[in-house]
Structure 1
Amino acid sequence: MIRRTALLSALTLSLLLVACSKDKDESADADETQAQAQAEGGEQVETDIQAEEAPPAPTVDYWKVVGPLVAGDYSGACMRKPDLRKMDATIKVGADGKASSSGMELDFREARKVMLTRQREKDGGYGAMFMFSVDEAKGGDLLLQSAEGSKGSAVINRDDIGLMCSEVGGIDKLSARPLRAVFSGLLGAKTQTVSCLDTTNLLVRRDTDVEIDGDVLKIGGTKFDITGAETEMFTFDDAGRTMSLTLIMPDKQTIGLGYDGAGTLTSVTVFHEQERSYSCEPKREG
């Protein structure tokens, strides 16, 4: 009897061990399955997040227009920085955006900010000021500015080293054509629709067509003769991801058109002194 009881006890213990082992295996399998599911779920979430990430912002290759316009050798009476030594020198600017002078070499195709200005002078002619600024980490600036008569000035800097030149010839070519005509090919569709605030009721927005037709800018039902602009300014920021055209009219109205790198309108503003007549943003779909 004792032997039989011992045998049953041994058998029971053996069955319990098998059952426990089976439970552990099943638990391990379940844990592994859960971990795999979580991993796959994590991968799916990561894939979904990547899929939802916005594509990189478009950039405009403005240098294909700016390059031929500014290319040239700009010579004059110069002063070297930092020792202020006077010397005759030349600042060479290539159509490829590379500029050099007195041992300095800079690539302005990498410019983070470009500001090009053309303005009417008192004698009825036009002057120009073109500024290029490379990323702060790399350093480097270039300034080309016209002056009265056919002479102008040119400045190139990199960190504390630079060259400032006056009596520079050839800069008057920068103001020969209106900037809006020079860069018209970068501005996307001729007519674009934006959403504008109703200035009499700021809770209302209205779809408004904006069109540059030759020398006439149309914003909704308002027309502007932009041949009369006293100042034109084109800017390219963030290495061509954004650009803008600003027009200052004789009646002190200031017109601003903002674009992304693809030439799509992102903002339209019209101010007359402190009064705003247009404030527009991209039209929302749906």
Structure 2
Amino acid sequence: MPSSPARFIFLTAVMLSACQGKSSDAPAAASVPATPSVNYWTLIAPLVAGSYGGQCLRPPDPAPFPGPIVIAAGGKVSAGKLSGDLRSADISLSSAMDNEVPTAAINAGVGEFTLMLADKGAQRGLTAMVANGDQAVACEQATAPAALHGLNVYALIARVIDTPRRPLSCIPTGALKSAEVMFALENGVLSLDAEQFDIGTSRRQSALFTDGLSKLFYSATLADGRLIKMNIDERGQLAGLEGKGRNDQLYACK
């Protein structure tokens, strides 16, 4: 049997060895889950889901093709042998007044697969087209779906981008440093301090959804030439704002 000091050292070594063994077997601390990303498909689906037929063909073949182009509520697109999934695509929406006629367009792409829906007004109908590589299906029909005809992009995404009054850090034209500007967007009216932009009645609007439909870039051009651009991040938060106001006042805010 070891002497007392030697015995103490021996027992201490055994205890340390046991503790180290238990430590290595202990489960690692749970990692903090990443903040879930938003997904804007629920906004887009009611706008695009449906069957698009009418007069169809497979360009460049001029022969009629029975169609239709079908977009399911879950995002799957099918047209003959072509298929794609809009839930993983980058999608852009645009609306404008063309000679006082409201028009709208939707473009989507993922890999080589692309989709286009273009509402050219009540007199000119709607064009729908899908393509993948050198294969395509295009259809012309007399009227656009009610959700797409007369699309107002702001109205579609208002619940996402509307923001109660809050301060932003902005660098106005000619300034050498940032200044606090009070910002709000409610009921289609965007305010930067005393200046107001009625984006709900803009002549041109667009929204671009990227990164798995988790990021949103919105822009609006007013009839008087003033301009607003907004960047919404994957958490659904305002990440940046740019604009051109009266007297060519420029804003760069975050």
For the aligned pair, the TM-score class normalised by the smaller chain equals: 0.7 to 0.9
Deviations 1:242-272 (A, max 9, x none): 1021001122222101111333111111136
| 2:3 corresponding residue in structure 1 | none
Counterpart Cα distance in 2 of 1:236 and 1:223: 26
| 2:144 corresponding residue in structure 1 | 171
Counterpart Cα distance in 2 of 1:191 and 1:157: 44
Counterpart Cα distance in 1 of 2:247 and 2:236: 28
| 1:151 corresponding residue in structure 2 | 125
Greater helix share, structure number:
1
Report percent identity of matched pairs: 21
Shift of 1:55: 2.5
| 2:91 corresponding residue in structure 1 | 114
Counterpart Cα distance in 2 of 1:209 and 1:263: 20
Counterpart Cα distance in 2 of 1:274 and 1:240: 36
Shift of 1:144: 0.1
> Which blocks of at least 5 consecutive residues in structure 1 are unaligned?
1-21, 282-286
Matched, 1:125 2:101: yes
Deviations 1:158-192 (A, max 9, x none): 23322123x32332631424211121122264334
| 2:34 corresponding residue in structure 1 | 55
Shift of 1:196: 1.1
Alignment of 1:268-279 (within 5 A): 268-271=241-244, 275=248, 277-279=250-252
Alignment of 1:1-286 (within 5 A): 55-56=34-35, 58-60=37-39, 62-81=40-59, 84-88=61-65, 89-111=67-89, 113-122=90-99, 124-134=100-110, 136=111, 139-148=112-121, 149-165=123-139, 167-171=140-144, 173=146, 174-187=148-161, 189-206=163-180, 208-271=181-244, 275=248, 277-281=250-254
Q: Which shows bigger deviation, 150-159 or 184-193?
A: 184-193
> Which blocks of at least 5 consecutive residues in structure 2 are unaligned?
1-5
Counterpart Cα distance in 2 of 1:273 and 1:204: 19
| Aligned-partner residue type, residue 157 of structure 1 | A
Shift of 1:276: 5.2
Q: Is the 8 A contact 2:198 2:222 kept in 1?
A: no
Say which one has the larger Rg. 1
Q: Is the 8 A contact 1:188 1:263 kept in 2?
A: no
Counterpart Cα distance in 2 of 1:274 and 1:223: 13
Q: Is the 8 A contact 2:195 2:245 kept in 1?
A: no
Matched residue SS, 1:131: strand
Q: Is the 8 A contact 1:93 1:100 kept in 2?
A: yes
The 3 A distance-change label for structure 1 pair 55 and 234 is: same
Aligned residues: 246
TM-score (normalizing by structure 1): 0.71
Matched residue SS, 1:55: coil
